[in-house]
């Protein structure tokens, strides 16, 4: 057996069987996947956690590794569940799920658009290298892979398979929590991943009167490792992903891009001096040019921001300097019991104050709202789709008197999970220049 070996800090070694999956290695070598080496996995988290310099490339390899491990384990008992091309589609989707990410990953998504939809478009585009390689395996493979990645599940996609790519417990999350934890040094993200993968089963059943379906399930004995996984997510979101410093600098990058876009729309000279391919994205509102997009990386954006630091436009040069010199931003966190309309007057006063100080308030006073659910219990009245492995983590206890299925947060032995799953984590913050902190805090009192 010929194997391609990769050293990896999380799994020690990742292997690709080059005889069985020669096309997988070809996919890995495409420009679209190689580009992920230059996209940081955690955006500007390195401004807070200096070790968080790992890339989307190592994460994508990690997701592929977990998928490969799970598929081989699953095929030992459930090979009948795999139709033709299912295995290939799952492996390809796990490697390709992040190819649509823009520089600094989620940090610039508001500016450049949703990464999942872009990934699906690149895979379906007949002229992309990825599409050509997948088609060499089968004409049907590009669509099958795109359906697994696309945010909205399409009819005909097996939901248990889709849940392995994107759900409340998928290979993506299993990899990024441990990898981000290891690289950032925030150890809360670690959990027993091996046990989660090697006790994950498939069970037929109908829940809530729905049609019979195949569910990803875990035996009761795995409930504590699942609980550990959910708590890991909670800690990582609170400490790393939603860290106030990181979020502040990520908002600052968006402000820099918005200012540059404004200048590009008015100033031909400014436009002509932009580094390729930024001229495409700042001059038009068309973000779908994937050929230009494939040239867009963290390095390009950092290089451009370094140039902008000396821009004649004072706002752009100041904002760029603040980012590159990591010049602190002050923040105000809106108390959880207050609604937007209750603080609207105070916010308006701050904007007036900055205006009087001669600062463009739209670039120097910005809001950031973070929101996620570490685990969202399924509620038929709220959710947008029927209950499936995509929406629920299910325990299956064959000795139980009922159907045997338990959604994890409903299990009587895991009541403490409700403390972190009942409410989504929502935080609203405003950021402003530190030199105006005292006055602005006074206005916000």
Cβ proximity to another protein: between 50 and 210 the closer is 210
Cβ proximity to another protein: between 96 and 207 the closer is 207
Cβ proximity to another protein: between 280 and 427 the closer is 427
For helices 171-184 and 223-236, angle between their N-to-C axes, nearest 10 degrees: 50
Min separation Cβ 371 and another protein, Å? 6
Min separation Cβ 49 and another protein, Å? 27
The b-or-e profile of 3-21 (16+ CB within 10 A means b, else e) is: eeebeeebbeebebeeeeb
d(CA 344, CA 335): 13
Min separation Cβ 209 and another protein, Å? 6
Min separation Cβ 189 and another protein, Å? 24
Q: Are 98 and 106 in contact (CB under 8 A)?
A: no
Residue 208, CA distances (Å) to 163, 264, 387 in order: 19, 54, 8
Q: Interface residues with another protein (CB under 8 A)?
A: 152, 207-209, 336-342, 344-345, 348, 371, 379-382, 384-386, 423-424, 426
Reduced to 3 states (helix: H, G, I; strand: E, B; else coil), residue 331 is strand
Cβ proximity to another protein: between 9 and 371 the closer is 371
Residue 10, CA distances (Å) to 112, 171, 196, 236, 445 in order: 30, 14, 16, 17, 46
How big is the chain, counted in residues?
Answer: 445
Min separation Cβ 340 and another protein, Å? 5
Residue 210 makes CB contacts below 8 A (sequence gap 6+) with: 386, 387
d(CA 305, CA 294): 19
Min separation Cβ 263 and another protein, Å? 27
Beta 329-333 vs 366-372: how paired, if at all? unpaired
Min separation Cβ 81 and another protein, Å? 24
Q: Is 213 exposed, middle or buried (0-12, 13-18, 19+ CB in 10 A)?
A: middle
Cβ proximity to another protein: between 127 and 384 the closer is 384
Cβ proximity to another protein: between 204 and 423 the closer is 423
Q: Hunting for tokens 């100041």 — which residue is that? A: 318
Min separation Cβ 234 and another protein, Å? 16
Cβ proximity to another protein: between 84 and 384 the closer is 384
Cβ proximity to another protein: between 131 and 428 the closer is 428
Q: How many CB atoms lie within 10 A of CB 96?
A: 29
The CA-based diameter of the chain, rounded to the nearest angstrom, is: 74
């Amino acid at each position: 057996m010929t194997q391609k070996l990769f050293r990896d800090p999380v799994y020690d070694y990742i292997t690709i069987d080059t005889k069985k999956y020669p096309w997988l290695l070809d996919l890995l070598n495409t420009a679209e996947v190689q580009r992920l080496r230059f996209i940081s996995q955690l955006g500007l988290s390195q401004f807070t956690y200096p070790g968080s310099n790992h890339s989307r490339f190592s994460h994508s390899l990690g997701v592929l590794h977990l998928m490969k491990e799970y598929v081989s384990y699953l095929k030992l008992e459930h090979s009948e569940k795999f139709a033709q091309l299912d295995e290939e589609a799952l492996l390809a989707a796990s490697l390709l799920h992040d190819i649509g990410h823009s520089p600094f990953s989620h940090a610039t998504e508001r500016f450049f658009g949703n990464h999942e939809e872009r990934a699906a478009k690149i895979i379906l585009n007949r002229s992309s290298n990825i599409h050509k390689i997948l088609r060499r395996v089968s004409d049907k493979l590009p669509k099958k892979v795109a359906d697994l990645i696309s945010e909205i599940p399409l009819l005909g996609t097996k939901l248990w398979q889709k849940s392995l790519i994107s759900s409340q417990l998928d290979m993506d999350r299993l990899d990024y929590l441990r990898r981000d934890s290891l690289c950032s040094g925030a150890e809360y993200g670690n959990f027993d991943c091996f046990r989660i993968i090697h006790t994950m089963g498939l069970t037929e059943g109908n829940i809530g009167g729905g049609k019979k379906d195949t569910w990803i399930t875990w035996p009761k004995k795995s409930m504590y490792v699942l609980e550990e996984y959910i708590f890991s997510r909670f800690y990582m979101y609170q400490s790393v992903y939603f860290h106030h410093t990181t979020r502040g600098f990520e908002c600052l990058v968006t402000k820099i891009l918005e200012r540059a876009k404004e200048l590009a729309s008015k100033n031909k000279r400014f436009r002509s001096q932009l580094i390729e391919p930024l001229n495409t994205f700042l001059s038009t509102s068309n973000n779908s040019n994937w050929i230009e997009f494939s040239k867009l990386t963290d390095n390009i954006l950092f290089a451009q921001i370094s140039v902008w630091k000396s821009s004649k436009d004072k706002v752009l040069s100041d904002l760029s300097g603040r980012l590159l010199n990591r010049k602190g931003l002050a923040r105000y966190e809106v108390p959880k019991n207050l609604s937007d309309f209750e603080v609207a007057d105070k916010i308006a006063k701050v904007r007036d104050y900055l205006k009087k100080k001669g600062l463009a308030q739209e670039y120097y006073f910005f809001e950031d709202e973070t929101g996620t659910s570490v685990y969202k219990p399924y509620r038929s009245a709220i959710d947008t789709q029927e209950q499936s492995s995509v929406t629920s983590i299910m325990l299956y206890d064959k000795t139980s008197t009922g159907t045997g299925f338990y959604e994890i947060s409903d299990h009587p032995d895991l009541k403490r999970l409700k403390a972190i799953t009942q409410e989504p984590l929502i935080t609203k913050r405003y950021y402003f220049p530190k030199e105006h902190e005292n006055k602005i805090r006074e206005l916000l009192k």
